[in-house]
């Protein structure tokens, strides 16, 4: 017995309904979902201020405070956007593991900073996913500029790096001028495919500033010195020529 096929018009009508349903359920904007606390309800930032006045007092001055919705859309935007719904945390008197702590996991930060998830997945990165550092060690989520030390001011943001990397602070008798441009002129702080989180894997990093010239065929001059035979030996810092890349106390050519 043959099965009766539905008429073509009926199939087209079903297709139109399906497409309409999909289009109505698809957002045309970026949707950020707050961290989930199972069973909890949103209470509003005012309820957080009762216990965490030290965090909420200066929040209006923070970079994060500028990222907000207006009107009714902002009802649940605030502390709970990063820490999850707070009803269980409040009713339990602030019991542990009843609220999301971004210091324990970067997932709360990744919900907005999705590109940083990829950076920290690269081979060489600060030990964030290993739990040895947190985003808050370098960033201020609750007050002032998000980057500790002054946001886009490279000279002051370097102070954040020097808190851990004390040997690179100096002062040096013979400094590397690149330090005046900031650590990020050579390093990708969140992660890189290159060792030491460098922005380039070899001497190309140095040649961005130290331009080479050719005064004669087959001769490569950098900084007034011939480097023809030196360049094939490896990177500027690993070939035994300029090991003290941050600065030297004894040698103008940044030698140890």
**Are 103 and 82 contacting, i.e. CB atoms less than 8 angstroms apart?**
no
Q: How far is CA 170 from CA 158, 176, 179, 209, in A?
A: 12, 10, 10, 21
Domain end: 58, 85, 100, which one? 100
Looking at the structure, tell me whether residues 59 and 95 fall in a common domain: yes
Could you tell me the pLDDT band of residue 174, with boundaries at 50, 70 and 90? very high
The string of DSSP codes covering 229-250 is: TTGGGS-TTTTTS---TTEESS
Q: Is residue 28 part of a domain?
A: no
> 75: which 2 tokens?
């009802």
Kindly list the strands in the beta sheet with 221-222, ordered across the sheet, starting from the edge strand earlier in the chain: 212-213, 221-222, 225-226
Q: Is the pLDDT of residue 234 over 70?
A: yes
Domain end: 199, 217, 248, which one? 199
Residue with structure tokens 């808190």?
163
Could you tell me the pLDDT band of residue 141, with boundaries at 50, 70 and 90? confident
Looking at the structure, tell me whether residues 242 and 180 fall in a common domain: no
Q: Is residue 31 part of a domain?
A: no
Looking at the structure, tell me whether residues 88 and 158 fall in a common domain: no
> 187: which 2 tokens?
């390093």
| 168: CB partners within 8 A, 6+ apart | 161, 162, 179, 183, 246
Looking at the structure, tell me whether residues 243 and 207 fall in a common domain: yes
Residue-range definition of the domain harbouring residue 143: 107-199
Looking at the structure, tell me whether residues 221 and 254 fall in a common domain: yes
43 vs 197, which has greater pLDDT?
A: 197
Residue 134, pLDDT score: 92
Where b means 16+ CB within 10 Å and e means fewer, 115-148 reads: ebbebbeeeebbebeeeeebbeebbbbbbebebb
Q: What's the number of domains the chain is made of?
A: 3
**Are 122 and 192 contacting, i.e. CB atoms less than 8 angstroms apart?**
yes
Residue 20, pLDDT score: 46
Looking at the structure, tell me whether residues 155 and 116 fall in a common domain: yes
């Amino acid at each position: 017995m043959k099965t009766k096929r539905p008429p073509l018009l009926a199939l087209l009508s079903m297709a139109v309904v399906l497409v309409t349903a999909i289009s109505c359920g698809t957002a045309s904007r970026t949707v950020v979902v707050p961290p989930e606390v199972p069973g909890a309800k949103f209470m509003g930032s005012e309820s957080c201020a009762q216990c965490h006045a030290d965090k909420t007092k200066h929040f209006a001055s923070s970079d994060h405070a500028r990222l907000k919705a207006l009107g009714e859309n902002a009802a649940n935007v605030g502390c709970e956007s990063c820490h999850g719904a707070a009803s269980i945390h409040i009713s339990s008197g602030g019991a542990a593991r009843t609220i999301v702590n971004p210091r324990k996991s970067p997932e709360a930060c990744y919900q907005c900073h999705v590109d940083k998830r990829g950076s920290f997945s690269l081979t060489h990165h600060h030990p964030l996913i290993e739990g040895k550092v947190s985003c808050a060690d370098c960033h201020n989520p609750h007050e002032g500029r998000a980057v500790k030390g002054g946001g886009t001011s490279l000279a002051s943001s370097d102070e954040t790096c020097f808190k851990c990397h004390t040997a690179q602070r100096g002062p040096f008798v013979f400094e590397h001028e690149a330090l005046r441009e900031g650590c990020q002129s050579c390093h990708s702080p969140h992660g890189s495919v290159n060792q030491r989180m460098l922005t380039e894997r070899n001497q190309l990093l140095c040649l961005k500033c130290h331009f080479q010239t050719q005064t004669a065929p087959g001769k490569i001059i950098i900084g007034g010195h011939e480097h023809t035979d030196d360049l094939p030996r490896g990177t500027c810092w690993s070939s035994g020529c300029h090991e003290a890349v941050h600065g030297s106390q004894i040698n103008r050519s940044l030698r140890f």
